[in-house]
Structure 1
Amino acid sequence: MECARKDRDLEAEQALWQRWQARRDAQTRAELFDFYAAWSRVLAGHYHARYPHPLAEYADFVGLASMGLLQAIDGFNPALGSRFKSYAEPFIKGAVLKGLACYIKDHQQTSRERLLSVAGEAEEGDDLATIVNLTVGLAFGYFLELGILDAELYDNDPASLYERENGLETLAYLVEQLTEGERRVITGHYYQQLSFVQLSEMMGVSKARVSQLHGQGLQKLRRLYEQVS
């Protein structure tokens, strides 16, 4: 069974690279990114443990590793016979170390982009219900970031383990109910820590479209979550 699964993965990987070499399109680039995303997150965790930074959290390492992964995908030539992971690892490590060397923690722009995508800029005089709705929408986004960023369990209490695992499974299932575009933006932004600009470049769409998909995805997830809670 394990050998059969590895063979299928290898065939899927080769097919993606063949399509990328032929088309160089945004869709295939995004699929390649998804294929290696879990691996890049493992590397990010390794670098987070090895190169601790007073201003950077694990999520920041993931974002920097994602940038390196995208650079490696763009530069890799499978015809040369080398393995992609061997080729990409120096790109990912370089992106992380370079990013840490000049890193300044600032989430203001990210928070602003999220707010605008959920409901546009709040106008002076908006009623309380509108402001509360905006706040809840943003809070749900951060809940996604904390709740399904990692299936990592923080204590060994059986009740806590069960509750967290159940929540992870529910949220992961709800994300799968989104449209392809919404799902790609939500997972890219909250799982891989990609900015709206990086997502627009990866997906081959405008930043405004990424913002729209983010807002739609968050609102849909919130409605779905309220239905199953």
Structure 2
Amino acid sequence: MPGRDPSGLELVIDPVRQEASLWRRYRFEDDLRCRETLFNRYFSLARAVAARLFRQRMTTRLDRGDFDQFACEGLLHALDRYDPLRGVPFSAYARRRIAGNVADGIATMSEIDAQLSHRHRIEQERLRSIVSEGGDAIASLSDLVVGLALGLMLEGTGLIDQAAADTRPNAYDSLAWRESQAILVGEVSVLPDKEQVVIRQHYDHGLPFTQIAELMGLSRGRVSQLHHAALGRLRKRLRARG
């Protein structure tokens, strides 16, 4: 009937109303969970803009990961600056912000940063999180080995959206390996909420801790702690399985 209020079911199945609700809760009620939902929803848009600009690049000294990182940073900025009351579709607004941030990032990136690829920076950050500060060498080495193994397994699961996945040895395609990955994904799904967010954003979207911190409204150090705690929790759960 015309003029009636939409039912709860209609709100759920109507993507326009659903997104409007997310923006209202984020912008006017400061619900950071909605910010993460919106980020995940438009992550593929950021990747698409990055891919287009990467194909048009004038230099070979930057890798695709650098473009993706700048694009994700632009998406975060767009989420913070977008005014849903102006009636401009977010996708149109975000495209300009993302493209502008990629262009700015490329223009200002130093030669040293350019030589250190995005993937290398991610791996260094991950290693610093894994190794215990102030702990004994044996414990730190154990954490490092387990952390690297878990990271490798996570990067071969459905958690990861790898446009250009690394070539894996045939042994990684074995039934035992796939079963182990499935178990690990299941254990990730029962981690505390904040640890899940860190693991999924870091290994799925490839975000560095600084961007995860911005997304979650936390310090970079806290994100590193959550990453370390999550890997420790996963290690204990997997050991308990025998």
TM-score above 0.5, yes or no:
yes
Please state if 1:74 is matched with 2:72: no
Using the TM superposition, give the Cα deviation of residue 131 of structure 1 relative to its aligned residue in structure 2, in angstroms: 1.4
Q: 1:48 to 1:187 in 2, by over 3 A?
A: farther
Using the TM superposition, give the Cα deviation of residue 62 of structure 1 relative to its aligned residue in structure 2, in angstroms: 1.9
In structure 1, how many angstroms separate the alpha carbons of the residues matched to 2:66 and 2:156? 13
Contact 2:209 2:220 (C-alpha < 8 Å) held by counterparts = yes
Q: 1:25 to 1:120 in 2, by over 3 A?
A: same
5 Å-filtered alignment, 1:126-205, equals 126-127=137-138, 130-145=140-155, 148-150=159-161, 172-205=185-218
Q: Root-mean-square deviation (CA), in Å? A: 3.7
Please state if 1:114 is matched with 2:120: no
Look up the equivalent residue of 1:205 and give its one-letter code: L
Aligned to 2:3: none
Using the TM superposition, give the Cα deviation of residue 138 of structure 1 relative to its aligned residue in structure 2, in angstroms: 3.0
**What's the TM-score, normalizing by structure 2?**
0.71
In structure 2, how many angstroms separate the alpha carbons of the residues matched to 1:79 and 1:213? 35
Contact 2:198 2:223 (C-alpha < 8 Å) held by counterparts = yes
Bigger radius of gyration: 2
Using the TM superposition, give the Cα deviation of residue 7 of structure 1 relative to its aligned residue in structure 2, in angstroms: 4.2
Using the TM superposition, give the Cα deviation of residue 96 of structure 1 relative to its aligned residue in structure 2, in angstroms: 1.7
Please state if 1:42 is matched with 2:54: no
In structure 2, how many angstroms separate the alpha carbons of the residues matched to 1:75 and 1:175? 32
Q: 1:92 to 1:150 in 2, by over 3 A?
A: same
Aligned to 2:222: 209
Q: 1:7 to 1:26 in 2, by over 3 A?
A: closer
5 Å-filtered alignment, 1:28-39, equals 28-39=34-45
Look up the equivalent residue of 1:140 and give its one-letter code: L
Higher relative contact order (CA 8 A, sep 6+): 1
Number of residue pairs matched by the alignment: 221
Aligned to 2:106: 100
In structure 1, how many angstroms separate the alpha carbons of the residues matched to 2:66 and 2:178? 24
SS in 2 for 1:185: helix
Q: 1:134 to 1:105 in 2, by over 3 A?
A: same
In structure 1, how many angstroms separate the alpha carbons of the residues matched to 2:64 and 2:211? 19
In structure 2, stretches of 5+ residues that fail to align are 1-9
In structure 2, how many angstroms separate the alpha carbons of the residues matched to 1:81 and 1:166? 48
Q: Which range is displaced more, 170-179 or 210-219?
A: 170-179
